[in-house]
Amino acid sequence: MNSKNLLASLTHDSDETEFFTPMPTGYEPGKTKYVVVFGTVMSGLGKGIFSSSLAKILQDKGLRVTPIKLEGYLNRDSGTLNPYRHGEVFVLDDGMECDMDLGTYERMLNQELSRLNFTTSGQIFSSVLEKERKGRYLGRDVQMIPHVTGEVKLRLRELAVASKADVVFVEIGGTVGDVENAYFIEAVREMSYEEGQGNFCYVALTYVIEPSILGEQKSKPAQLNLKLLNAAGIHPNIIACRASEPVAKKVREKIALFANVPMDRVFSMHDCDSVYVIPEMLRGGGIDAAVIDLLGLSEQVDTPREEEARKTWADYISRLRTAQHAVTIGIIGKYTTVRDSYASIIQAIEHAGALVGAKVRLEWVDSSDLTPANVAKRLENVHGVIVPGGFGIRGVDGKIACIQHVRENKIPYLGICYGMQLAVIEYARNVAGLQHANSTEIEPDCPQPVIDLLPEQMQIEALGGNMRLGGHDVVLTPGTAAAEMFDNAEEVRLRFRHRYEVNPVHIETLEKSGLVFSGKSPTHPIMHIMEVPKDRHPYFFATQAHPELVTRPLRPQPMFVGLVQAALRYSGVSDASGGCKQEAESATESECDAPGPAGSIDTAATSV
């Protein structure tokens, strides 16, 4: 029985069958291929980085690809997760709050993803229970198999239909052996059986330890965890061995023997100086060729397109590594001990630095330690400052002291979300004469609430999913720095994640004192972008949006480009016009598929 006939026999749920495989309209079995990436031994191996890098290589070859992240936690989305535990919350254009790996995929693939690309156990179980209440299971007792696994398979096939992808990359969160992701693994096992041979490729990331006391690499943890994967019915086609140093041949031979994987498909994925060199590392190891062979995609490979994409990327790396000017940007936040909390900001600065020929060093400053008395000393070595998004009152006074210092001393400044709200508060207090200005988030009964809840948020009490989320159009005021920054466009699209906004009651007072609101909502009195005119400050800019979410390696976000240029000028570099800008802007979409390597940014600077 071929896969199409088999699937037709699986889609019914009645007394005559135990199968349950709902199929979305338009799905053609065997048309879409799937690459599934598992993690073994430990979490944090970089499954998302690996998966997105491999997807990028196939995209370079002319194949249409799309990713999906399957998360085991019961949250419906990532919106309520603590940055200390899960890093930043990445927001998609359609408003989905998701894992930071989705940001890696968007940057690597130069794609705008949607909620179809992110699924949690909370979503799966909610959907199953809703269908049960509606009688969709025809009176059957609802079980993990086939109903919950059937819902997972439905999500994967719905994504295949919507994206029209040649290859869907499935990243299963967590580690093999975790209770919470066991049913995801079972679902892809079932689906591989249903789709037939040649349609699934399994890749296992594992970890080869090297205890300092032994002085040699040991593969036993990898062997045992790969056996767990085999016990779940998954026999990997490819194994990528993570390690600090290149994995020795004899170690790879052991792993190949114990996992029943050919030696030429067991690769060393040792540490490198940047995640952005991984695509070329995978090519060098032949992983892309193995996937193409396993999935029977050789006839769809566009070799000239791949060669052009690689050349474009090589040129980009060359420009990046020949950056001449060093500049330091301070990031003032309360999650500075966890760099993943600001992952997209780090990427945005790197992309901007590559564009203008700057090697950017990041200096991390915990806002909880800043005071008016020490702020000048703490910021004496920075050439520009970012106050990123955040919530709550901890560290607020330090951020406001920082904003006042950089405004008065003409140090380039970019405020993001909360960084804009606090900039408005600082300006209101120290320039506009509103001495008691504050946000109702910080001081609920403040007499001069220049920052207040969005009107539509007033009656919402739930914590999750209650913000203004996703992409929204922003109307730019002609003649402002914002309009100039976006090539005098009348309107741009930015992504948001906030509940509070500039209180319309105080806008006239703020504008009369010289503050310019240069980006606004086209339909509501909501201020999205603010700036201090250039004749009063070289670069004092803030936005209610999160511009870091839409940066791309060869299309850096303009607000970050402006900050790095201004920081270069502040450091004494006279020509900070961004000589690469025209070249980057003229790049085609296919040329913008991959992010940049290391060399333009040093994120290892000691915390201040």
CA angle 487, 347, 320 (to 5 degrees): 80
Active-site residue flag, 546 = yes
**Count of C-beta atoms within a 10 Å radius of residue 463:** 9
Decide if 387 contacts 415 (C-beta within 8 A).
yes
In terms of C-beta distances under 8 Å and separation of at least 24 residues, what long-range contacts does 284-290 make, across chains too? Answer: 287/54, 287/57, 287/238, 287/240, 288/54, 288/57, 288/58, 288/61, 290/237, 290/238, 290/264, 290/265
Displacement of CA 37 from its chain's centroid (Å): 18
Distance CA 49, CA 64 (A): 18
CA angle 486, 87, 384 (to 5 degrees): 45
Active-site residue flag, 548 = yes
Catalytic-labelled residue, pool 351, 383, 498, 546: 546
CA angle 322, 324, 326 (to 5 degrees): 125
- CA distances in angstroms from 187 to 428, 533, 607, listed in the order given: 56, 57, 44
Catalytic-labelled residue, pool 363, 417, 426, 592: 417
Task: Residue 204: name the closest of 180, 177, 183, 179 by CA.
Answer: 177
Q: Whose structure tokens read 């193409």?
A: 292
- CA distances in angstroms from 455 to 416, 450, 529, listed in the order given: 21, 14, 19
Catalytic-labelled residue, pool 531, 548, 591, 592: 548
Distance CA 164, CA 440 (A): 46
Alpha helices in 33-88 (DSSP H): 47-60, 83-86
CA angle 123, 46, 227 (to 5 degrees): 85
Active-site residue flag, 417 = yes
Decide if 553 contacts 107 (C-beta within 8 A).
yes
Residue 475 corresponds to which tokens in the numbers above?
């109307």
Residue 405 corresponds to which tokens in the numbers above?
């210092």
Decide if 596 contacts 276 (C-beta within 8 A).
yes
146 cis-preceded (ω within 30 degrees of 0): yes
Which are the catalytic amino acids? 417, 546, 548
